[in-house]
Amino acid sequence: MKRKLIVITALMFVMPMVVQADAISQLQADYQAKGAGPFSAAAGEALWNKPFKDAKSGKERRCTTCHTTDLTQAGKHLRTGKVIEPMAPSANPKRLTKIKKIKKWFVRNCKWTLGRECTAQEKGDLLAFLKSL
């Protein structure tokens, strides 16, 4: 009985950490369930740097427009000038740890940059690239 309690208590401490640290794997598993994968960091990097033309203004847009090309450095929002903390998890351990946050910004930023939502394959590739930094 006592041992059972110890195990349960230990699990209660460990579980939330495992779930949090694994936001990327969980999302990638979701994308795989939708038929995407395997994921490639190289494809993610290519998409991260790829220029897209905004239909209205004709101006070039990329992920790096706000996040910059050195992901260990802070970026700056193009319009608001607000500082964006470094994207690389190695430079910013809080990065890519919350599924809700990742999903929300994928929708917003893909729409703004690509003019459409990213596919499951693209999102899986982007995460493979970002987590390698």
Distance (Å, whole) CA 10 – CA 47: 41
Based on the shown chain and the rule CB under 6 A, indicate whether residue 106 belongs to the binding site for ligand HEC: yes
**CA-based R_g, the chain, Å:** 18
The token pair that represents 30 in the structure block? 């979701």
Distance (Å, whole) CA 122 – CA 15: 29
Instruction: Name the segment binding ligand HEC (CB under 6 A); options: 3-11, 26-34, 35-43, 105-113.
Output: 105-113
Based on the shown chain and the rule CB under 6 A, indicate whether residue 78 belongs to the binding site for ligand HEC: yes
Specify whether the CB–CB gap between 112 and 59 falls below 8 A. no
The owner of tokens 């903390």 is: 85
Based on the shown chain and the rule CB under 6 A, indicate whether residue 131 belongs to the binding site for ligand HEC: no
Instruction: Name the segment binding ligand HEC (CB under 6 A); options: 5-13, 24-32, 35-43, 109-117.
Output: 109-117
Instruction: State the minimum distance, in angstroms, from the CB of residue 8 to ligand HEC.
Output: 31
Largest CA distance in the chain: 68
Based on the shown chain and the rule CB under 6 A, indicate whether residue 66 belongs to the binding site for ligand HEC: yes
Contacts with ligand HEC by CB under 6 A lie at: 63, 65-67, 77-78, 84-85, 95-96, 98, 101-102, 105-106, 109-110, 112-114, 126
